[in-house]
């Protein structure tokens, strides 16, 4: 089965996307894979599978490889003696901006390219953590209380110390800080506002139980991964999450009650359906006093959360066979014809 891995993009998570794509490549050995790299200037390159190494991109060797252009139905490779259309389905592994903000989804829809990944509406609501709060509330899922700060506007923070400061539209814990006292606040805000103009403040709960659950829907049935209890210090910082993007070996299943597993799956389903159909996502939850809280939605999880699935290749194949159809609109110009006939033209 043919599949193109699309990775890179213009975002703070560009390098993470490269690491993630290299990991996913190794996990999809049964597929006939094509590798499409998007650089920071939004140029597309066809990458030789044998050159799918991090240094290929850090050294700029990808620039010597064939350039691709988006066209109806796929990516076109033009040459002196003609062109070739790469028209297979696409697996979107662009993390952060471009991949998770709806840009790539809109482009794939516009050019009629089938793809695995969040559609534009799902991307917009999960990319911005503020909007994700609204999504969870509409689905009846609890989240931690929060405040929203905007760059350049003075706001008096009501949340008591300690609390977490995080950019609203960034993943991988980039720009995230724990603030325990007033003397640490200005620096934490400066760091967060370096990456985004909108920042969220949430209470920091020491020792809170955290669980990750991935899954997808295909033909009316949700396939769930195992539940993972991530190992962390105080929170999953960038270094810890960076390693997640290179994970390929299956992790241990969390030792929790069937009741909690059911609660987590119910919460996942409430978030996933119907908005995220066509995507494999991971939801990160807190468990507080027996209740489940949504922490965040990862619409394109690191290395596609392969380490949580018993059969990752089978999962991708199953999802490929059940991608949502975009309604095709055919224009017949009946309205203009009727006006022309009425005018005798």
pLDDT above 80 for 154: no
What is the domain-level CATH number for residue 153? Answer: 3.30.1490.20
Q: Are residues 111 and 197 in the same domain?
A: no
The pLDDT score that the predictor gives to residue 239 is 53
Residue 337 lies in a domain: no
Across the range 228-234, mean pLDDT stands at 78
pLDDT greater at residue 268 or residue 169:
268
Rg for the chain, CA atoms, rounded: 22
Mean pLDDT confidence for 263-274: 97
The model's pTM is 0.91
pLDDT band at 201 (very low <50, low <70, confident <90, very high): very high
Residue 254 confidence class, pLDDT cut points 50, 70, 90: very high
CATH of the domain at 129: 3.30.470.20
Domain that holds residue 26: 2-116
Q: Is 329 a member of any domain?
A: no
The pLDDT, as a whole number, for residue 246 is 64
> Residue 242: pLDDT above 80?
no
Task: Inform me whether the pLDDT recorded for 266 exceeds 80.
Answer: yes
* pLDDT at residue 327 in the model: 81
Between strands 90-92 and 115-116, the pairing is parallel
Supply the pLDDT for residue 243: 54
What pLDDT is recorded for position 155?
78
Bridge partners of 203? Answer: 163
The confidence score (pLDDT) of residue 340 equals 85
Q: Say yes or no: 187 and 135 in one domain.
A: no
The residues with which 78 forms a beta bridge, in sequence order, are 83
Whether pLDDT at 238 is above 50: no
Examine the domain organization and report whether 194 and 310 are in the same domain.
no
Q: Kindly report the average pLDDT of the chain as a whole number.
A: 93
Compute the average pLDDT of residues 69-74: 97
- Say if residue 109 is in the same domain as residue 8: yes
Q: For residues 323 and 39, give the distance between their C-alpha atoms in angstroms, rounded to a whole number.
A: 27
Pair 269, 300 in one domain: yes
* Domain count for the chain: 3
312 lies in the same domain as 171: no
- Judge whether 62 lies within some domain: yes
Q: Per-residue pLDDT averaged across 259-282, rounded? A: 97
pLDDT digits (tens, 9 = 90+) for 73-126: 999 999 888 999 999 999 999 999 899 999 999 999 999 999 999 999 999 999
Give mean pLDDT, residues 309-314: 96
Q: Domain for residue 345, yes or no?
A: no
The verdict on 134 and 253 lying in the same domain is yes
Mean pLDDT of 265-290: 97
Mean pLDDT across the stretch 189-200?
94
pLDDT digits (tens, 9 = 90+) for 43-63: 999 999 999 999 999 999 999
H/E segment holding residue 70: strand 67-71
Within this chain, do residues 28 and 169 fall inside the same structural domain, yes or no?
A: no
Quick one: 157 and 137 in the same domain? no
CA-CA distance, 265 to 7, in Å (whole number)?
29
Determine the Cα–Cα distance for residues 280 and 109; give it in Å rounded to an integer. Answer: 18
In a domain, 265, yes or no: yes
Same domain for 221 and 314, yes or no, is yes
**Shared domain check, 137 and 173:** no
Residue 305 confidence (pLDDT): 96
Spacing of C-alpha 212 from chain mean position: 15
Among 203, 221, 248, residue at a domain's last position: 203
- Residue 61 maps to a domain: yes
Do 130 and 239 lie in one domain? The reply is yes
Q: Average of pLDDT values for 205-216? A: 95
333 in a structural domain:
no
Report pLDDT for 232. 65
User: CATH number, domain at 43?
Assistant: 3.40.50.20
Give the mean model confidence (pLDDT) for residues 192-204: 94
CB 101 within 8 A of CB 83: no
Contacts of 135 (CB under 8 A, 6+ apart): 125, 126, 271, 275, 297
Cα torsion at 150, 151, 155, 160 (round to 10°)? 80
| Residue 331 located in a structural domain | no
Q: Is the pLDDT of residue 210 over 90?
A: yes
């Amino acid at each position: 089965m043919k599949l193109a891995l699309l990775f890179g993009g213009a975002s703070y998570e560009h390098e993470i996307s490269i690491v993630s794509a290299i990991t996913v490549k190794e996990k999809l050995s049964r597929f006939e894979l094509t590798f499409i790299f998007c650089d920071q200037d939004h140029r597309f390159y066809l990458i030789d599978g044998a050159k799918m190494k991090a240094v290929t991109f850090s050294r700029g060797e990808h620039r010597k490889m064939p350039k691709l252009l988006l066209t109806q139905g796929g990516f076109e490779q033009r040459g002196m003696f003609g062109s070739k259309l790469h028209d297979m389905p696409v697996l979107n592994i662009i993390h952060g901006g471009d991949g998770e903000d709806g840009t790539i989804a809109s482009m794939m829809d516009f050019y009629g390219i089938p793809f695995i990944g969040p559609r534009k509406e799902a991307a917009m609501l999960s990319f911005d953590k503020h909007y994700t709060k609204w999504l969870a509330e509409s689905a009846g899922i609890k989240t931690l209380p929060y405040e929203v700060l905007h760059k350049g506007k003075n706001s008096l923070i009501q949340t008591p110390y300690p609390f977490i400061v995080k950019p609203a539209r960034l993943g991988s814990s980039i720009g995230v800080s724990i603030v325990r006292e007033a003397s640490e606040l200005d620096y934490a805000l400066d760091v967060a506002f370096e990456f985004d103009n909108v920042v969220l403040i949430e209470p920091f709960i020491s020792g809170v139980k955290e669980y990750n659950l991935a899954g997808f829907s295909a033909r009316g049935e949700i396939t769930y991964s195992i539940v993972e209890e991530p190992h962390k210090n105080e929170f999953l910082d960038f270094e810890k999450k960076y390693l997640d993007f290179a994970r390929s070996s299956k992790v241990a299943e969390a030792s929790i009650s069937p009741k909690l597993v059911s609660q987590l799956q119910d919460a996942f389903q409430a978030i996933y359906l119907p908005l995220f159909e066509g995507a494999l996502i991971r939801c990160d939850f807190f468990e507080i006093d027996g209740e489940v809280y949504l922490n965040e939605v990862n619409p394109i999880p690191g290395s596609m959360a392969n380490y949580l699935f018993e059969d990752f290749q089978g999962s991708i194949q199953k999802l490929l066979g059940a991608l949502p159809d975009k309604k095709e609109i055919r224009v017949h110009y009946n309205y203009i014809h009727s006006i022309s006939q009425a005018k005798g033209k």
